[in-house]
Amino acid sequence: MILFCSLIICIVLLARLIHNIYKKDMGSKYASPERDPIELIKKDYDFISKIEYIEKLINSLPYLGAILNDKRQVVFANSGLLEMLNLSDIGSILGQRVGEILGCVYADTLTGGCGTIKNCSVCGAVNCVLEAQKRKRKVVTECRITSEKNGKQRNYDFKVITVPLEWNKKEFYMFSLVDISDEKRYKSLEKIFFHDVMNKVGSMNGFIDLLKIEKDPESIMQYINFIDIINTDLIEVIQGQRDLLSAENSELQTFFEDIDSLNIINTAKNQLSRHEVARDKEILVDSNCKSFTLETDKLLLKRVLMNMLKNALEASSIGEKVIIGCDKEKANCRFWVNNSSVMSENVKLQVFQRSFSTKGKNRGLGTYSIKLLGERYLKGKVGFISLPQEGTTFYINLPEFVC
Is residue 267 predicted with pLDDT exceeding 60?
yes
Amino acid 364: pLDDT: 44
Q: Is the pLDDT at 21 greater than 50, yes or no? A: no
Q: Is the pLDDT of residue 12 over 50?
A: no
The residue-averaged pLDDT of 11-29 equals: 49
Query: What does the pLDDT look like over 272-292, one tens digit per residue?
Result: 888 888 889 999 999 998 899
Domain of residue 400: give its range. 254-403
Of 198, 223, 253, which residue is a domain's last? 253
pLDDT per position as a tens digit, 120-138 = 998 999 999 999 999 999 9
Task: Work out the mean pLDDT of the chain and round it to a whole number.
Answer: 85
Q: Is the pLDDT of residue 355 over 70?
A: no
Look at residue 114 and tell me if it is in a domain.
yes
Does 224 share its domain with 263? Answer: no
- 248: confidence class by pLDDT, cuts 50, 70, 90: confident
Domain total of the chain: 3
pLDDT at site 220: 87
In a domain, 111, yes or no: yes
Three-state secondary structure of the chain? CHHHHHHHHHHHHHHHHHHHHHHHHHCCCCCCCCCCCHHHHHHHHHHHHCCCCHHHHHHCCCCEEEEEECCCCEEEECHHHHHHCCCCCCHHHCCCCHHHHHCECCCCCCCCCCCCCHHHHHCHHHHHHHHHHHHCCCEEEEEEEEEEECCEEEEEEEEEEEEEEEECCEEEEEEEEEECHHHHHHHHHHHHHHHHHHHHHHHHHHHHHHHHHCCCHHHHHHHHHHHHHHHHHHHHHHHHHHHHHHHHCCCCCCCEEEEEHHHHHHHHHHHHHCCHHHCCCEEEECCCCCCCEEEEEHHHHHHHHHHHHHHHHHCCCCCCEEEEEEEEECCEEEEEEEECCCCCHHHHCCCCCCCCCCCCCCCCCHHHHHHHHHHHHCCCEEEEEEECCCEEEEEEEEECCCC
pLDDT tops 70 at residue 359 = no
Confidence of residue 25 (pLDDT cuts 50, 70, 90): very low
| Residues 208 and 151 both lie in one domain | no
Tell whether 5 is covered by a domain.
no
Q: How confident is the model at residue 155 (pLDDT cuts 50, 70, 90)?
A: confident
Q: What CATH number is attached to the domain comprising 272? A: 3.30.565.10
Average pLDDT over residues 337-355: 85
Q: Is residue 21 situated within a structural domain?
A: no
pLDDT at 323: 96
pLDDT for residue 20: 46
Banded pLDDT at 297 (limits 50, 70, 90): very high
- pLDDT beyond 70 at 358: no
Q: What is this structure's pTM?
A: 0.72
At 363 the pLDDT is: 43
Task: Let me know whether 277 and 224 are in one domain.
Answer: no
Residue of 83 and 11 predicted with greater confidence = 83
User: Would you place residue 97 in the very low, low, confident or very high pLDDT band (cuts 50, 70, 90)?
Assistant: very high
User: Among 191-195, 237-241, 386-390, which is the least confidently predicted range?
Assistant: 191-195
- Looking at residue 32, its pLDDT comes to 92
Whether residue 62 sits in one domain with residue 136 = yes
Residue 14 included in any domain: no
* 353 falls within a domain: yes
The residue ranking higher by pLDDT, 369 or 292, is: 292
| 150 and 91 in a common domain | yes
Q: Are residues 193 and 145 in the same domain?
A: no
Q: Which is more confident, 72 or 24?
A: 72
Q: Which of 179, 196, 222 is the last residue of a domain?
A: 179
Domain termination site, one of 114, 146, 179: 179
Residues 291, 200 share a domain:
no
Whether residue 18 is contained in a domain is answered as no
Ranges 19-23, 42-46, 237-241: which has the least confidence:
19-23
pLDDT at 77 over 70: yes
Do 282 and 376 have their domain in common?
yes
* Mean pLDDT, residues 250-275: 91
